[in-house]
Amino acid sequence: MEIELVFIPSPGIGHIQSTTSMAKLLVASDDRIFITLIIIPSQFSSDASSSYPKSELDRLRYFHLPVGDQTTQQTFISYIESQKPHVRAAVLELTKNVPKRSGSRRRLAGIVLDIFCMSMIDVAEEFNLPAYTFYTSNASFLGLLFHVQSLYDNNKLDVSELKNSDAEFDVPTLTRLFPARCLPSVMISKEWLPSVLARARTLRETKGILVNSSGEMEPQALKFFSDMKSNTPPVYAVGPILDFKTDDGDEKGTEILRWLDEQPSRSVLFLCFGSMGGFGEKQVREIAVALERSGYRFLWSLRRPSHLRHMNGSPPEEFKNLEEILPEGFLDRTAKIGKIIGWAPQTAVLESHAIGGFVTHCGWNSILESVWFGVPTAVWPIFAEQQFNAFQMVEELGLADSEMRKRVKEMKDKLRTALLDGGSSKAAVKMFVKDVVENIPNNVF
């Protein structure tokens, strides 16, 4: 029997690449599995498919939704909601037109939702399909999400009232008390907390949650989720899921990697703050002064700050004239030891022998990549769950402290072991597939 899963990633190349990597992992794990990714066009692009990955596997394909009237004044949540009729039509078409192999049956086994597309659970229910979630962040933060929702629903505790508080509280997926000041901005916002709570409640309705992590990296979190008392869906730690295909073969990427090849081993500090991270001109000048005074080699991915706040607005842009925002003469004085770039082929950079440290915004993918390549980090969270991730890296895992190089090396070895045959992540993938098969509805196509 063949199994068809439909994935609905959040729009944006980062989420789509992560979901593609997850889909490839599942397809490679079992010959029965076929996957279709329904691609929602970006809210800020007129091209439904530009720069999106192309499938190289015959059991993995993309279904691009049409680009309609795009109003950038919409919130991200309302934009996703507006796509629901298109997703519903796409699933209906898939049920009618999925190609069949002779002599075989294929069953539509379920819909896998991105965390920001949880409202699409309505579509799964309309087609009587099990809904699952692919959670691109870590298991510990997933536990915080459930915990905040439980505190509100069961104990009438509103964490938004802890804004600017020095309070600390227990989070069941952490071994240490968690400071309220590290809560993400959407949780301490009276305006956005209801959406966070609603997302957590919907998550509880799903059949299971795929998490981009491993038991080796988050033992406390996985212990919590394995306890029936957690009252959560099964959590499958199938990571680390990393996308090693980059565009480093283009002219800019080649130039960056060539420059790194010329530097001594572990001599370069890499500064990169994700696809949505950037700084204003005053902060840029302060960073530049610090880098010059340090005397260390550096590779700095420098971009304007994003207008994206609470999932509104547009992504960051490149600075047009660096000399206008950097200290006078900075580029000339640091020409032999430093390089400032815009976009960065991050995985290829972190893999370079020249990188000795990584200043990161603490996006979960960036954390996994730094650990995978054994690069110590200095944390600089900006928004979203990055404050939580920074706390986890420093306090919970000890991967960003004074002994971090040794600890990072140990965790690097553990992550790679998790993906081997017999490893914890391989076992989690098999368990997920087994549970999907057991939850298949009766509708056959």
Residue 173 lies in a domain: no
Is there a single domain that holds both residue 366 and residue 391?
A: yes
pLDDT at residue number 280? 83
Catalytic residue among 30, 69, 86, 114: 114
Is 227 among the domain residues? yes
- Give residue 312's pLDDT: 45
Where b means 16+ CB within 10 Å and e means fewer, 353-380 reads ebbbbbbbbbbbbbbbbbbbbbbbbebb
Is residue 166 assigned to a domain? no
Q: In terms of domains, do 218 and 362 share one?
A: no
Question: Which DSSP state fits 378?
Answer: E
Tell me which residue of 431, 427, 428, 437 sits closest to 130, measured CA to CA: 437
Q: Are residues 340 and 431 in the same domain?
A: no
Residue 194 lies in a domain: no
Q: Report if residue 383 sits inside a domain.
A: yes
Q: Report the predicted TM-score, pTM, of the whole model to 2 decimal places.
A: 0.89
HSE, CB side, 13 Å, CA atoms: give it for residue 137: 19
* Pair (233, 368) in one structural domain: no
Say whether both 264 and 214 belong to one domain. no
The answer on 406 and 286 residing in a single domain is yes
Q: Quote the pLDDT of residue 15.
A: 84
Return the axis-axis angle of helices 364-372 and 404-418, rounded to nearest 10°: 90
Name every residue whose Cβ is closer than 8 Å to that of residue 137 and which is 6 or more positions away in sequence: 115, 211, 212, 364, 385, 389
- Domain extent, residue 312, equals 251-416
Bridge partners, residue 107, by sequence? 3, 444
Q: Is 367 helix (H, G, I), strand (E, B) or coil?
A: helix
Domain match, 350 and 228 both: no
User: Helix and strand tally (H, E) in the chain?
Assistant: 16, 14
Flag whether 163 is in a domain: no
What pLDDT is stored for residue 48 in this prediction?
47
Provide the CATH number for the domain around residue 220: 3.40.50.2000
**Quick check: is 171 in a domain?**
no
Amino acid residing at 211: V
Give the containing element (helix H, strand E) for 270.
Answer: strand 268-272
232 and 335 fall within a common domain: no
pLDDT in single tens digits along all 445 residues of the chain:
889 999 999 987 778 888 999 999 999 999 999 999 999 988 766 554 444 555 567 899 999 998 866 555 678 888 899 999 999 999 998 887 655 544 567 888 999 999 999 999 999 999 999 999 999 899 999 999 999 999 999 999 999 998 888 999 999 999 999 999 999 989 999 999 999 999 999 999 999 999 999 999 999 999 999 987 889 999 999 999 987 765 555 788 899 999 999 999 999 999 999 877 778 889 999 999 999 999 999 999 998 776 544 444 455 677 778 888 999 999 999 999 999 998 889 999 999 999 999 999 999 999 999 999 999 999 999 888 999 999 999 999 888 776 778 889 899 999 999 999 999 999 999 999 999 999 988 754 4
Domain count of the fold of the chain:
2
Kindly report the CA angle at 119 between 16 and 161, in degrees rounded to 5?
100
Q: Which residue of the set 15, 147, 248, 361 is catalytic? A: 15
In this structure, the answer to whether residues 346 and 431 fall within a common structural domain is no
Amino acid 164: pLDDT? 85
Q: Are residues 389 and 429 in the same domain?
A: no
Is 401 one of the catalytic residues?
no
Q: Is 353 a catalytic residue?
A: no
Tell me: do 424 and 319 sit in the same domain: no
Same domain, 110 and 56: yes
State the Cα torsion 248-251-255-261 to the nearest 10°. Answer: 40
